[in-house]
Amino acid sequence: MEALNLQRQEAPLRRLMGPGPLDVHPRVYKALSSPVIGYLDPVYLKVLDRISELLPPLFGTQNRLANAMPGTGSSGMEACVANLIEPGDRILVCVAGFFGDRIRQMAERQGAEITVIEEDWGKPIDPARVEAELKQGSYKLIALVHAETSTGVLQPIDDIAQLAKQYDTMIVLDTVSSLGGIEIKVDEWGIDGCFSCSQKCIGCAAGLSPITFSDRAVEMIKKRKTPVSSWYLDISLIEKYWGNERVYHHTSSSTLNYGLLEALLLIHEEGLNKRFARHLKNHKALVAGVEALGLKMLVDQAYRLPTLNTVMIPQGVDDIKLRRYLLEKFRLDIGGGFGRLKGKVWRVGLMGYSSSADNLLFFIPAISRALALQGYRTDLAAGLDAVLAELDGNGNEFTALQEKAAAAGA
């Protein structure tokens, strides 16, 4: 038998500027190395309670039910779909990218009768098409993605939310790439099931999925004709652990929840409005820099997602070679396109701790150099100048540097 390789492996340091995970604040790293404690330890139960107090303002809700599901963003997605759909229910799914289609696939597995509104990747869903469908027949639920990470589109929600109210239809909203970076208004929009992830704008490691259900959704789940098809994701069972009863449901990860709590504290210390403004400013600065380099964005300005930027790959540039170069020479990790946009775009994430002026000022020269090595010339001076003009013109805070100064007691 071959000897086992017992060499220890250390993760390399990276600068994470892709679709997620993103960089994590030093305080969150520290919290992630907290001692492991039991899932019923009274001290740990207080951590879960605090998470349930700090999440609702991010979701823009007064919902009683808000906490973090075990598992990644897909776990929250499946929890919403599995709890709110029964076999034969009529569901309208809006698909304008990879993740809209994932919701469709999950709804299909619940035995729903599905109508899909499909849009080109890079465009938002047109509310008029939603209205046309709602006029034709009654639907129990509309499911859609707020921030489509595969395309870099921010879906305007107001009109669709209004239509859902008018036609008395529930809404499930995917906020995996927006919660904690962009304002979410679960109560105002009338969202019934909303989910996200821990590893993007929230700024923690992957493994938890913040989720909330409206009171009307909770009532509806109680009155289901059939049990929720997934035991693990049945919210009425998990709720007994999150709530006063404290009934064992699963071995909740104290490691991840301590990390999440620290990330949520950082968000509230920064202040939600300041945080949203920081994400927007850094996005605008990135776009200014990229365009001044001579590159193009995929999405029209009106629908660009501030947290995830899709930059078109110029003709003749080898995507894989370029991203490997950035990773190996600059430790810089940006995302490639996938699905229909594979090889066509780069996905540059500016979320949470990674949404910083430092990252912008690193990214622009690095990509310019990587392109130059493939014979594609950009105007680096113009690119940097555009970023700087946008940053100082907008009074941007140099977040990471300020935090380093604070940590050093300056």
Ligand X SMILES: Cc1ncc(COP(=O)(O)O)c(C=O)c1O
Separation of alpha carbons 26 and 32, rounded Å = 10
Separation of alpha carbons 192 and 188, rounded Å = 11
Judged by CB, which is closer to ligand X: 101, or 159? 101
What minimum distance in Å lies between the beta carbon of 75 and ligand X?
7
Among 72, 212, 254, 378, binds ligand X (CB under 6 A): 72
Name the one residue in this structure whose structure tokens are 């340091």.
13
Among 125, 145, 261, 345, binds ligand X (CB under 6 A): 145
149 binds ligand X (CB under 6 A): yes
Preceding omega of 57 cis (within 30 degrees of 0): no
Pick the piece of the chain touching ligand X (CB under 6 A) from 4-12, 71-79, 185-193, 364-372. Answer: 71-79
Separation of alpha carbons 315 and 343, rounded Å = 10
Among 60, 70, 73, 152, binds ligand X (CB under 6 A): 73
Among residues 377, 397, 389, 246, the alpha carbon closest in space to that of 314 is found at: 377
Scan residues 213-272 and list those touching ligand X (CB under 6 A).
none
Helix extents (H) in 297-394: 319-330, 357-373, 380-393
Q: What are the start-end ranges of the E strands in 146-219? A: 147-148, 153-154, 170-174, 193-195, 208-213
Output the furthest CA–CA distance in the chain (Å, rounded).
68
Query: Which x/- pattern over 5-44 shows residues binding ligand X (rule: CB under 6 A)?
Result: --------------xx------------------------
Sign of CA dihedral 105, 172, 80, 302: positive
Among 61, 63, 67, 177, binds ligand X (CB under 6 A): 177
151 binds ligand X (CB under 6 A): no
Judged by CB, which is closer to ligand X: 206, or 218? 206
Separation of alpha carbons 77 and 146, rounded Å = 13
197 binds ligand X (CB under 6 A): yes
Judged by CB, which is closer to ligand X: 152, or 289? 152
Q: Report the relative pairing of strands 193-195 and 170-174 from DSSP bridges.
A: parallel
Pick the piece of the chain touching ligand X (CB under 6 A) from 35-43, 154-162, 173-181, 220-228. Answer: 173-181
Judged by CB, which is closer to ligand X: 99, or 258? 99
Task: Name the residue type at position 280.
Answer: L
Judged by CB, which is closer to ligand X: 257, or 396? 257
**Measuring CA to CA, how many Å separate 309 from each of 54, 209, 290, 354?**
28, 23, 10, 13
Judged by CB, which is closer to ligand X: 323, or 376? 323
Among 44, 99, 139, 363, binds ligand X (CB under 6 A): 99
Tokens of 204: 């923690």
Among 74, 115, 230, 253, binds ligand X (CB under 6 A): 74
174 binds ligand X (CB under 6 A): yes
User: Who's near 169: CB < 8 A, 6+ residues apart?
Assistant: 92, 134, 138, 139, 140, 141, 142, 163
Judged by CB, which is closer to ligand X: 75, or 252? 75
335 binds ligand X (CB under 6 A): no
Q: How many amino acids of this chain bind ligand X (CB under 6 A)?
A: 14
Judged by CB, which is closer to ligand X: 19, or 306? 19
Tokens of 359: 């990252």
Scan residues 273-332 and list those touching ligand X (CB under 6 A).
none
Judged by CB, which is closer to ligand X: 154, or 400? 154
Q: Report the relative pairing of strands 113-118 and 15-16 from DSSP bridges.
A: unpaired
82 binds ligand X (CB under 6 A): no
Binding residues for ligand X, per CB under 6 A?
Answer: 19-20, 72-74, 77, 99, 145, 149, 174, 176-177, 197, 206
